[in-house]
Amino acid sequence: MENIELVVKDKKIWFRRLGLWVTGIGSYYIFTWVYDYLIISALLLYFGVLKGGIIAMIVSMFLDFFTLKFYDWLKKDWLALEAIKELNDKKGFIGKLFRFVHNKGSILTVFFLSLFLNAFIVTTYMRNGAYKYNGLTKRDWIIFTTSSIIGNGYWILMFAGGITLIKEILISFF
């Protein structure tokens, strides 16, 4: 009977965690989509690539920093990042893969992750230890800054290229 109660309790915990992850990831995705696609585009169109890019990078760094502070204050794994870091402790192929990504050549890992994820997520994932929510060390600040520069630089170049391409197409038709 105790085993059944333990299994039911464990399922409730997993359903709660899954609900938190779906809500957190969904909300964060919408927030970052609005910033990435609407605000950055507007800044680059209004201020130009250089000035708009600098403004976008500064705003992005502040947003990522305050999101990280909120994440640490809340002490909830609402993006499943801490659960993913736990995979480092697993044996077998999955554990080896996550240890490789997390530990091998941090700068190389930060570079590739920064092309697809923002500095908040890269820094939170690359921090040592899971479920610690303990702020930023000197290493974490280096990762945060590097990831911000790489990620924002990549997005700004992508959007600037897209905006230039759209302008050229419109000019050639009209």
**What pLDDT tens digit does each residue of the chain (174 aa) get?**
444 444 456 777 778 888 888 888 899 999 999 998 899 889 988 998 899 999 999 999 999 999 999 999 989 888 888 888 777 667 777 777 777 766 655 788 889 889 999 999 999 988 877 778 888 899 899 999 999 999 999 988 888 888 778 878 888 887
The domain in which residue 98 lies consists of: 2-173
pLDDT score at 159: 82
Number of domains in the chain: 1
Q: Is the pTM of this model over 0.85?
A: no
Residue 100 CB coordination number (10 Å): 12
As a whole number of angstroms, the distance between CA 114 and CA 133 comes to 21
Taking the C-alpha atoms of residue 95 and residue 86, their distance in angstroms, rounded to an integer, is 9
